[in-house]
């Protein structure tokens, strides 16, 4: 994944983003495969490993595809499946912006 310094921008494969992408809150049992890990991980465990406070976890937007597969945990990482592997691939650019923020 390419991202800016603060991980507020993600580039994901557009060929795998069929249909609409939806932003939602985390749900019990959510799993994804963070880039660089060999297998799937519970989103809850991912947050614990990154030391994201309990209060903050429910405020992290989760972008999912039409099959409810996690594409991007906004500000933290994308799923390995959606990682751009070839500079010639078409991408979808996802941005996380604060409410009322500029840009």
Confidence at residue 74, expressed as pLDDT on a 0 to 100 scale? 95
Q: Any bridge partners for residue 72, and if so which?
A: 63, 78
73 close to 43: Cβ distance less than 8 angstroms: yes
pLDDT of residue 3 exceeding 50, the answer is: no
Q: What is the pLDDT of residues 5-64, one digit of tens each?
A: 467 999 999 888 877 899 999 999 999 999 988 889 999 999 999 999 999 999 999 999
Hey, CA dihedral for 41, 25, 62, 24, is it positive or negative? positive
Confidence at residue 38, expressed as pLDDT on a 0 to 100 scale? 83
Q: What is the pLDDT of residues 47-103, one digit of tens each?
A: 999 999 999 999 999 999 999 999 999 999 999 999 999 888 898 999 998 777 565
pTM of the entire predicted model = 0.85
Q: Which domains does the chain have, with CATH numbers?
A: 9-95 (3.50.40.10)
CA angle 15, 84, 82 (to 5 degrees): 60
3-class SS letters over 8-69: CEEEEEHHHCCCCCEEECCCCCCEECECCCCCCEEHHHHHHHCCCCHHHHCCCCEEECCCCC
């Amino acid at each position: 994944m390419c991202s800016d310094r603060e991980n507020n921008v993600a580039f994901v494969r557009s060929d795998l983003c069929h249909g609409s992408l939806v932003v939602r809150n985390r749900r019990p049992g959510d799993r994804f495969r963070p880039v660089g890990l060999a297998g799937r991980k519970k989103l809850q465990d991912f947050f614990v490993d990154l030391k994201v406070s309990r209060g903050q976890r429910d405020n992290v937007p989760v972008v999912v595809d039409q099959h409810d597969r996690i594409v991007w945990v906004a500000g933290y990482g994308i799923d390995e499946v959606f990682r751009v592997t070839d500079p010639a691939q078409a991408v979808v650019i996802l941005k996380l912006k604060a409410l009322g923020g500029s840009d």
